[in-house]
Structure 1
Amino acid sequence: MNELTLEIANAARKAFQSLFANGESYYYCTLFTTGEGHEPYISAWSWEALEREAENPTTWSFQQGQSNRSTAERKALIKWSYADSPYYCVGEEHFQHLKALFQARPFDEEEWHLRIEAMVLAMEMLDQEGLFTLNQARESVCIVVEVMPPDEMNTQIAKRLNKADSSALQAWLIEAAE
């Protein structure tokens, strides 16, 4: 698992570092995978991106007949959505080598749990390095490892990766937790 954790951490580090170079203040950073345990990718939301997307008439919420909603309602719809973020799969080129690594491994339920644990350990490693404090205070960003479609384990992982009294975690638990 050490090799897998390190490979995931290296890819995620590069992707988040390139994203954070934009100087925005992030409140949500996720490393996500599918229920089938495919290679992970990152997504994130910054306060600046949320504001832009909620006001942008070309975002998904407007396209789905939501244009009559207030900006606050539109923000609430997309605030914690990894898939609706403009930073969905940002830096995916850093994860391409993981596809072959994941495909070369035998897959069963035990392997699936091992992959999730490797992702969590990778995010813990990046957190200990201070990566998530580059543009914001650590307690103001909720970091998560998520399985899509959403699974209850996402909540357990979020609680593991963030301090219990973190305002970002508390908001995520109220607004997005499974």
Structure 2
Amino acid sequence: MVNAARKSFLNLFKNGERDYYCTLYTTGEGHAPNVSAWSWEALEREATKQARNSNNSQSEMAALIKWSYADSPYCCFGEEYFTNVCQYLNERPNINVLGGEKWQQELTFRLTAMELAMKKLDEEGLFALNQTRDAICILVEVMPPDEVNIEIALQLNQSSTALQQWLVEADE
């Protein structure tokens, strides 16, 4: 998972934009993760584009999509790098047929692997390539949002400025 995420983020960061949000996200069913990210430049472009097609101003639209993995133009970025991760997870117990405690154990295993991957990349300095580390919130998220998202965010970011913004604005 670390190698897949590293390749995805390194490829994304070649654009030279100033990122403020990078996530590995999955569903409550524990599917293989995907990358999503937002940069200030992408937010301005996307908010302007979406405002033209709505009754919202550019600033209102920016506030609505700022922390949305799904609205990002970088949603599923580098998914081709996760083929081996998907194959590995498919060889594990089928989470869709597990129940109760076994389901929770398997989901926790998958989220922990995602968290460890993001932590390793952070330790390598990957998230400080185009901006200071304090300016970016790195996450592991379950969608739809789950309480575990906050727990993992606090572990991955300590007290970064970006984390504080996410906690207030993302309404997790």
TM-score by length of 1: 0.89
- Matches of 2:158 and 2:135 in 1, distance apart? 11
Stretches (4+) displaced over 2 A: none
Percent of residue pairs bearing the same amino acid type: 60
- Matches of 2:68 and 2:132 in 1, distance apart? 21
1:97 Cα deviation after fit: 1.8
- Matches of 1:71 and 1:55 in 2, distance apart? 5
Aligned residues: 164
1:100 Cα deviation after fit: 1.3
Please report the RMSD computed on the Cα atoms of aligned residues, expressed in angstroms. 1.1
What is the match of residue 22 of structure 2? Answer: 29
1:87 Cα deviation after fit: 0.2
In structure 2, the CA distance between the partners of 1:127 and 1:143, relative to structure 1 (3 Å rule), is same
- Matches of 2:118 and 2:171 in 1, distance apart? 18
- Report whether the alignment pairs 1:15 with 2:2: no
- Matches of 2:116 and 2:70 in 1, distance apart? 23
What is the match of residue 140 of structure 2? Answer: 145
Aligned counterpart for 2:155 among listed residues 137, 156, 160: 160
After TM superposition, list the pairs within 5 Å mapping 1:93-104 onto structure 2. 93-104=80-91
- Matches of 2:120 and 2:151 in 1, distance apart? 18
Residue segments in structure 2 that go unaligned for 5+ positions in a row: 96-102
Which amino acid letter does the alignment assign opposite residue 117 of structure 1?
A: T
1:109 Cα deviation after fit: 2.1
Is the CA contact (8 Å cut-off) linking 1:154 and 1:177 kept in structure 2? Answer: no
SS of the residue corresponding to residue 147 of structure 1 reads strand
1:177 Cα deviation after fit: 4.0
Aligned counterpart for 1:112 among listed residues 86, 90, 107: 107
After TM superposition, list the pairs within 5 Å mapping 1:49-128 onto structure 2. 49-56=42-49, 59=50, 63=53, 67-106=54-93, 107=95, 108-128=103-123
- Matches of 1:78 and 1:43 in 2, distance apart? 13
- Matches of 1:32 and 1:43 in 2, distance apart? 7
What is the match of residue 125 of structure 2? Answer: 130
